[in-house]
Amino acid sequence: MEEQKNLVLFAGGEEETEKEKAGLDFEPSEDELVLHFLRPQLRGFAPRVPGAVVEADPCAATPWELLARHGLLQRGHGYFFAARRRGNAVVRRTPAGGGGSWMHSGNREHGRSVTALGVVARWSRTRYGFYVLGGAEGRRSTGWVMTEYEITDPLCYRRADEGAEDEYWVLCHVRRSCRTNAGKPSSRRRSLVLASI
Task: Give the Cα separation of 170 and 172 in Å (integer).
Answer: 6
- Distances from the Cα of 121 to the Cα of 31, 54, 91, angstroms: 9, 22, 26
In degrees to the nearest 10, what's the CA dihedral of 59, 65, 67, 71? -140
DSSP state letter for 47: P
Q: Residue 140's CB: how many other CB atoms inside 10 A?
A: 18
Report the pLDDT value the prediction gives residue 166, as an integer from 0 to 100.
Answer: 63
Please, which residues have CB within 8 angstroms of residue 23's CB and are 6 or more apart in sequence?
A: none
Three-state secondary structure call for residue 147:
strand
One-letter-per-residue 3-state SS of 51-95: CCCEECCHHHCCHHHHHHHCCCCCCCEEEEEEEEECCCCCEEECC
CA-closest candidate to residue 28, choices 5, 47, 46, 51: 5
DSSP state letter for 37: I
pLDDT tens digit at each of 197 positions of the chain = 444 444 444 334 444 444 343 334 678 999 999 998 998 888 888 877 888 899 999 988 899 999 999 999 988 999 999 988 766 555 666 655 557 888 888 888 999 999 888 888 999 999 999 988 875 567 788 899 999 999 988 777 765 555 556 678 899 999 998 865 544 444 444 444 444 44
Strand (E) or helix (H) holding 32? helix 30-33
